[in-house]
């Protein structure tokens, strides 16, 4: 009896042998219960994804056609077992207004101001930062540079700075009596009203964002540079190309997909700008000249409590960002081909 | 030939000058955060003669920061005014009652819990997508993939309503749960886990391993470097979250960004105190960065992967 048991224990069952045989000829066979196991592994993430990401995506769109009139109080479901009771209420008290929220945007001057400010910062900041990141990456990639690791570390340090905390330093340095104006006046230049003039306050944001993100983009570009085949440079050298020509005709074209990626992600980042204007400019000062789109959405939603209109604004922003992301993904696909 | 070497020398000099200038400009704000935190406000906020070297007022500034009534930046021992309330898990944390949590501890705690939870969820989901066959696998995966292009931090309006209805306002779960199933994390883990050989899993199955053992004894240990990179992405994501914590957290539960925002938005802005707060919240992550540089870099590059 015992021998038999131990024998059958070690001997693979017919099913296992069959599976093994099928596998050895390269056929993949689902393990028993595999379908359910897959769902079980996925379940926790899927639940949270459904409740906190998929639902909000749909519900923001839904909300954008309504006027918000208060947090919901209508009972949708009420279970009372005596031991515990559970009441599911509607999410919000809403009134359908169709496309009114979207139409209202056309005559909303503060929204136009926010769009203008964001675009202004974008147009100045993104090219400046990408150019700087590219130059630093190329410089650090040059074969003669020593202490490369140290310089790379230093330039990448801002990556770890908390977005809100670093903004306070710019708030401090850019004061009328701050460090930057002290440096300017001591070398004989006039002091600049960094936080009180509408042009210069935008420039302050440009400077802050550039400081925070140049190193980040430099790291991505450095990785891209390392993927350029060395033979291309050698071939260019044989043809007598100068440094600038090599940069212009080898580096930039080879790096094009990575550069586009950096451009698009930086553009998306600028559309999402929130911490910097809130901290450095106290929410849009002077005279709303630095208010950004996200900040305007925040004010509309959580200070004025116009959640419907804020949802419509969010969807416009999401639309813009998604189009940009789609471009980015396409660019990425191109680079693989 | 000599003309050429001279040009080469000039070129090298210019390159070094450029890199050095960049390094200095990068370090100046960091240096200034630190220096300003050790000085009195009148010493560094001066257009004529600011002091540029560290002073000795750090502890005085720190004490006045701690004495603020609306913001508790670093925790302290004392009568309990603020404890970690994680809903049903509250009792488990009751022994912390002696220590009043400040914004720093809150941020570290929230980012830590978020990172661990999200790592687990993302790698489980990634494992399911990479190594199992089930119905609707493709549509579900593409639905998750599609949200990669959305700025998920911006979906705060329905989240706010949802959290109000779930009774999670002013609760740390409200800023942990919404992004725990991080689409980027799921995508990255799925991509990386596809490289685990099926034969390895199959032979472990033959040896009688349960499916969950396959996951945490075989799949996870081979994913160490991906998990390290992903945890940096996740930690920094939560660490920098500002908009939703600002909406959902009240006084006494602030994370670092919200606490600093309170300091900046106050009637009278005390820069010396703010710089102490900035020093305390930036310097620890810098040290972490110096030690884990490789993981930071691979985290940045992983975040920039394309399909």
Domain borders along chain A are 34-102, 103-336
Mean pLDDT, range A46-56, rounded to an integer = 92
**Among the ranges given (A19-33, A163-177, B197-211), the one the predictor scored with the smallest mean pLDDT:** A19-33
Sign of the four-CA dihedral A115, A117, A123, A126: negative
Average pLDDT score, chain A: 85
Per-residue buried b or exposed e for B194-214, using 16+ beta carbons within 10 Å of the residue's own CB: eebeeeebbebbeeeeebeeb
Average pLDDT over residues A143-156: 89
Q: Tell me the mean pLDDT in the region A148-152.
A: 90
Share of chain A above pLDDT 70, in %: 85
Stated as kind and residue range, the H or E segment containing A76 is: strand A75-80
By the CB < 8 Å criterion, does B260 face chain A? yes
Distance set, CA A14 to CA A11, A19, A20, B175, B204 (Å):
9, 9, 10, 52, 19
Superfamily the domain B76-270+282-303 falls into: MetI-like (1.10.3720.10)
Q: B32, B65, B136, B155: which to substitute to probe chain A, counting the most A Cβ within 10 Å?
A: B155
Q: Any CB–CB contact under 8 A between A162 and chain B?
A: yes
Give the range among A225-229, A285-289, B37-41 with minimum mean pLDDT: A285-289
Q: Is A85 on the interface with B (CB under 8 A)?
A: no
Q: How far apart are CA A239 and CA B240, in angstroms?
A: 49
Average pLDDT, chain B: 86
Q: CA–CA separation, A204 vs A221, rounded Å?
A: 25
Q: Which two tokens stand for residue A88?
A: 């599911």
Nearest-angstrom CA–CA distance, A233 and B290: 33
Contact B289 A159 (CB under 8 A): yes
pLDDT at residue A156 in the model = 92
**Closest partner residue to B271 among A56, A59, A172, by Cβ?**
A172
pLDDT at res. A286: 78
SS3 sequence, B93-116? Answer: HHHHHHEECCHHHHHHHHHHHHHH
Q: Is the pLDDT of residue B101 over 50?
A: yes
Which CATH superfamily includes the segment(s) A103-336?
MetI-like (1.10.3720.10)
Q: How does residue B95 score in pLDDT terms, banded at 50, 70 and 90?
A: very low
- Cβ atoms of B61 and B37 within 8 Å: the answer is yes
As beta bridge partners, residue A86 has A79
Q: Residues with Cβ < 8 Å from A207, sequence gap 6 or more? A: A170
The pLDDT of residue A14: 66
Reply yes or no on whether the pLDDT at B166 is more than 50: yes
Q: How confident is the model at residue A301 (pLDDT cuts 50, 70, 90)?
A: very high
Residue B261 or residue A75, greater confidence? B261
Position A115 confidence tier, pLDDT thresholds 50, 70, 90: very high
**The pTM is what?**
0.87
- Chain B, 38 to 97: residues with Cβ < 8 Å from chain A are 44-48, 50
State yes or no: pLDDT of A10 exceeds 70: no
Residue in A closest to B181 by C-alpha:
A45
Is B307 an 8 Å CB contact of chain A?
yes
Predicted pLDDT of residue A297:
93
**Who wins on pLDDT, B97 or A315?**
A315
* Residue B46 in this model has a pLDDT that exceeds 90: no
More confident residue, A322 or A64: A64
**CA torsion angle for A314, A325, B185, B227 (degrees, to 10)?**
-130
- The rounded distance, in Å, linking the Cα atoms of B175 and B249 is 9
Residues in a beta bridge with A94: A68
Q: B25 — contact with chain A (CB < 8 Å)?
A: yes
Smallest Cα distance from A211 to chain B, Å: 7
Comparing A125-129, B7-11, B123-127, which segment has the lowest mean pLDDT? B7-11
> Are B45 and A48 a contacting pair at CB < 8 A?
no
Note the pLDDT of residue B74: 86
Question: In the structure, what pLDDT confidence band is assigned to residue A29 with cuts at 50, 70 and 90?
Answer: low
Mean pLDDT (whole number) for A178-199 = 89
Query: For residues A160 and A28, what is the distance between their CA atoms, to the nearest angstrom?
Result: 45
Q: Which chain B residues are within 8 Å of A182, Cβ to Cβ?
A: 46-48, 50
Residues of A in contact with B180 (CB under 8 A): 45, 48, 52
Largest CA distance in chain B: 79
> How does DSSP classify residue A68?
E
Helix axes B183-193, B224-240, angle to 10 degrees: 170
Where residue A75 falls (left for φ over 0; alpha for ψ -120 to 50; beta otherwise) is: beta
In chain A, which ranges are continuous DSSP H helix? Answer: 2-10, 14-24, 34-49, 55-63, 100-104, 109-141, 148-156, 163-173, 179-186, 198-226, 230-238, 243-246, 252-271, 275-280, 293-302, 307-336
Worst-scoring range by mean pLDDT, A149-163, B47-61, B253-267? B47-61
Tell me the average pLDDT across B217-228: 91
């Amino acid at each position: 009896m015992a021998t038999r048991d131990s024998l059958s224990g070690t001997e693979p069952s017919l099913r296992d042998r069959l599976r093994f045989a099928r596998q050895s000829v390269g056929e993949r066979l689902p393990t028993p219960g595999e379908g359910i196991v897959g769902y079980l592994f996925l379940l926790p993430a899927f639940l949270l994804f459904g409740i906190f990401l998929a639902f909000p995506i749909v519900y923001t769109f839904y909300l954008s056609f309504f006027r918000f009139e208060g947090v919901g109080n209508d009972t949708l479901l009420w279970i009372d077992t005596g031991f515990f009771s559970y009441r599911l209420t509607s999410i919000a008290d809403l009134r359908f207004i169709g496309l009114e929220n979207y139409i209202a945007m056309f005559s909303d001057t503060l929204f136009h101001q926010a769009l203008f400010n964001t675009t202004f910062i974008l147009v100045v900041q993104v090219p400046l930062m990408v150019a700087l990141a590219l130059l630093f990456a190329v410089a650090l990639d040059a074969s003669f540079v020593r202490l490369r690791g140290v310089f790379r570390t230093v330039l990448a340090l801002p990556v770890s700075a908390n977005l809100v905390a670093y903004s306070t330093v710019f708030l401090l340095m850019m004061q009328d009596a701050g460090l930057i104006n002290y440096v300017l006046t001591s070398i004989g230049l006039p002091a600049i009203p960094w936080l009180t003039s509408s042009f210069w306050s935008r420039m302050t944001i440009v400077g802050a964002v550039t400081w925070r993100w140049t190193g980040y983009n430099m790291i991505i570009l450095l990785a891209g540079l390392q993927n350029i085949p060395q033979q291309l440079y050698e071939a260019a050298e044989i043809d007598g190309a100068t440094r600038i020509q090599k940069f212009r005709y080898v580096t930039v074209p080879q790096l094009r997909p990575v550069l586009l990626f950096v451009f698009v992600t930086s553009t998306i980042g600028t559309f999402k700008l929130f911490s910097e204007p809130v901290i450095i400019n106290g929410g849009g000062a002077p005279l709303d000249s630095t208010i950004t789109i996200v900040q305007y959405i925040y004010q509309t939603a959580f200070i004025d409590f116009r959640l419907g209109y804020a949802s419509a604004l969010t969807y416009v922003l999401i639309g813009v960002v998604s189009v940009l992301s789609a471009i980015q993904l396409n660019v990425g696909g191109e680079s693989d081909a | 030939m000599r003309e050429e070497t001279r040009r080469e020398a000039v070129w090298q000099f210019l390159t070094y000058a450029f890199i050095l200038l960049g390094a200095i400009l990068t370090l100046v704000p960091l240096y200034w955060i630190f220096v300003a935190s050790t000085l009195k406000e009148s010493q560094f906020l001066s257009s004529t003669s600011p002091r540029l070297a560290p002073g000795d007022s750090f502890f005085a500034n720190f004490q006045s920061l701690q004495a603020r009534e609306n913001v508790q930046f670093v925790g302290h021992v004392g009568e309990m005014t603020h404890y970690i309330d994680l809903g049903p898990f509250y009792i488990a944390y009751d022994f912390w009652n002696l220590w009043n949590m400040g914004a720093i501890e809150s941020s570290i705690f929230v980012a830590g819990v978020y990172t661990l939870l999200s790592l687990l969820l993302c790698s489980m989901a990634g494992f399911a997508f990479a190594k199992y066959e089930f119905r609707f696998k493709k549509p579900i995966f593409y639905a998750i993939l599609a949200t990669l292009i959305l700025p998920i931090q911006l979906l705060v309006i329905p989240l706010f309503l949802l959290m109000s209805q779930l009774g999670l306002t002013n609760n740390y779960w409200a800023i942990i749960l919404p992004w725990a199933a991080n689409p980027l994390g799921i995508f990255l883990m799925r991509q990386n886990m596809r490289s685990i050989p099926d034969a390895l899993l199959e032979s472990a199955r033959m040896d009688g391993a349960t499916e969950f053992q396959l996951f945490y004894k075989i799949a996870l240990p081979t994913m160490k470097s991906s998990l390290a990179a992903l945890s940096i992405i996740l930690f920094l994501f939560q660490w920098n979250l500002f908009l939703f914590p600002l909406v959902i957290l009240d006084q006494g539960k602030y994370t670092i960004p919200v606490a600093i925002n309170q300091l900046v938005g106050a009637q009278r802005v005390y820069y010396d105190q703010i710089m102490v707060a900035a020093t305390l919240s930036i310097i620890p992550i810098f040290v972490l960065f110096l030690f884990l540089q490789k993981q930071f870099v691979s985290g940045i590059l992983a975040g920039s992967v394309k399909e």
